[in-house]
Structure 1
């Protein structure tokens, strides 16, 4: 009997130990929920709010958006009044993203409205206890890249083949606009670049920061370009070649970025409107209606007016030698007496006056005589000051070596 009691007690002890072991296993295998990662954007901890992301749609207004989320009209009026110096709701554009941060309680009261002005800049309308509006920037990092390309047809297609942004093609055309005609590139022309790109939060591409160095082989002739600061006080930078000569010319090659020359300077041309032969003392650049027209050099506006023949026109005096005029504008953007810099927008392409279609007639005077700008030996821009020459050559030496180490892909 005693032996049977002992066996029963032993079995009970073993069973209890086994149950305890199982309980310990269950406890050990319990998976704890990981803490939610902290999400911080626009200077707010998003974990603390209910986050609503959306984009401005056609017909949306600031009042409609906030009203949809429970803000009463009186509060909306107060918000607009107190933030008007920083945020203008009328300038919100269709397609732009916005974020509303709301309380997590049952009332879900909006606490902030965030509007993205562009990829980098945003405006916060803080509508907590104290209404406050301010602008800020997303964290941007700069990444350095090197690239080489060979032209098969045109620069834009080559950029696409290399997986590069067409913004890079535009930057290059701006740099070389005085020395290379990008409409006349030849198959086999090639280029190398050292440049910097902007990225938001290290991942979202935000455009070209700057091209530091470039060499473009056009018809087997190398055209170097190095970015150099010539005014440390104002932060002015320009591009110069391997001999410290400015790439920029006193004049732009054309008053438009994208165009087609529809009629050149001629002593005898059949006028399409007047239906008679006469001298055409200008160059016609055909482009879409509304295309921006740029001043081809620094100067002062000496006329901004309208005549039956010229339509809306602007005339710029650059110095005692050179004057230019821009005809048939749809709209003028400058006034008489105003100073302009090379590349400033002075009007927009139209067909006012004696014109059969949208274009700008570009007229050019030298010493008071109208001439063909394509036949002139035009001056260059200001050279680097002599005192900066040694530091320029020291700065470009490693960049030139870096360009030399970039290899072209085999075609």
Structure 2
């Protein structure tokens, strides 16, 4: 009996010993399960780098900062900086860094001083420039991946289109684009309470949540004074890639000229050949232009396609641009802060040709818009201006097939419920993604 008990104890001891040895070998053979290895961070990729391989420094360009000063502050010597600037200058001008823009430094973990080996500059939310100088200096200009989200929005105007979008956190660029599309069919300075709209558009996002602008307005509907106007984009010239917006009857919504060279501005002085000015003793001083007041720096748009025939600064006109559109029409834009086109440039309707300023004889920031017809300055608002090119007869069937499904979709979008009386001062909007 005692012998059997002793044998049992020996077998149990041997089994426990084997189990412990097996567990010990298992631990030794799987080093990835150790606490030290579990602490290794997951790779984080950005700008084409694994950020976990570097010490990452993020900051923004301050007033007075320069590329060289930033690198010197992180322990790079002047000779090294000079060689980096020289090697990069043909691809990127380091003097173009703008205050307020973000930058990232990737610093070496292998260097005891942790000096930078790469500089990344972000001039906007989408694009970035990489200057890599770990071994030899290289420059890359890249863009972050964009995500396009299609949205449907409908609303009832109780204040203005601009405020409707702004108050309800819808990208204001949609309002600007709709104002462009309907520039000749609807006066957005005079829209009324109760006017309604629907729009299908795409919005651009980076990093899934940061809006960086809008893409295409795929369809729109605006009801002004009870009259509905549809708008659908359609390419009428596949060679020149000309896209215009047409209504549901294939009528072009655009005219050959925009109403205004400035979006959402106000007319501060109209064309008036009998204008009298107090400064000149109320003598008649003809005003042969139309003044559009807007803040300094506001973009000025070409009102029609044409070729720049003058771009200069002269006397009371200040900085100005003059565009010849055809043998009949010419336009001129005075008092610019900056001119962004030069003689000989071909510009399309809506292109930015300069910015609002106060150069020349002017009492406030505005653009004086002058309009010539057959060599004579005239009031553009009293001209029977031509329509833009219509859809050709051979394309109408294709156009109707193109708009049919999107029109059905647009018609299916419902308007929000009318607001209660005590909330009439607020805009109402619905949005579906």
TM-score scaled by length of structure 2: 0.82
- Encode CA deviations 1:93-146: one digit per residue, 9 max, x unaligned: 112111122222242242221111211111111112222111011111211111
**Superposed CA offset, 1:34-93 (max 9, x none):** 753221111112222222222212222111112222222111111111111222111111
Task: Name the residue aligned to 2:88.
Answer: 83
Partner of 1:133: 139
2:371 counterpart of 1:364: yes
Q: State yes or no: 1:99 paired with 2:104.
A: yes
> Any residues of structure 2 matched to 1:9-408 within 5 Å, and which?
33=38, 36-107=41-112, 108-278=114-284, 279-304=286-311, 310-330=317-337, 332-336=339-343, 338-408=345-415
What's the secondary structure of 2:189's corresponding residue?
A: helix
Greater relative contact order (Cα < 8 A, sep 6+): 2
Moved over 6 A (4+): 5-28
- Distance in 1 (CA, whole Å) between partners of 2:347 and 2:248 is 30
Q: Over aligned residues, Cα RMSD in angstroms?
A: 3.2
Q: TM-score, normalised by structure 1?
A: 0.86
Tell me, yes or no, if the aligned pair for 1:149 and 1:162 is still in contact at 8 Å.
no
Gaps of 5+ in 1: none
8 Å Cα contact 2:176-2:263 kept in structure 1? no
Q: Is the 8 A contact 1:273 1:354 kept in 2?
A: no
- What SS does the corresponding residue of 1:170 show, helix, strand or coil? helix
Query: Larger deviation: 169-178 or 289-298?
Result: 289-298
Q: How far is 1:149 from its partner?
A: 1.1
Structure 2 CA distance for aligned equivalents of residues 70 and 316 of structure 1: 53
How many corresponding residue pairs?
Answer: 408
Query: Structure 2 regions of 5+ residues with no counterpart?
Result: 28-32, 419-433
TM-aligned CA distance change 1:131 to 1:188, over 3 Å:
same
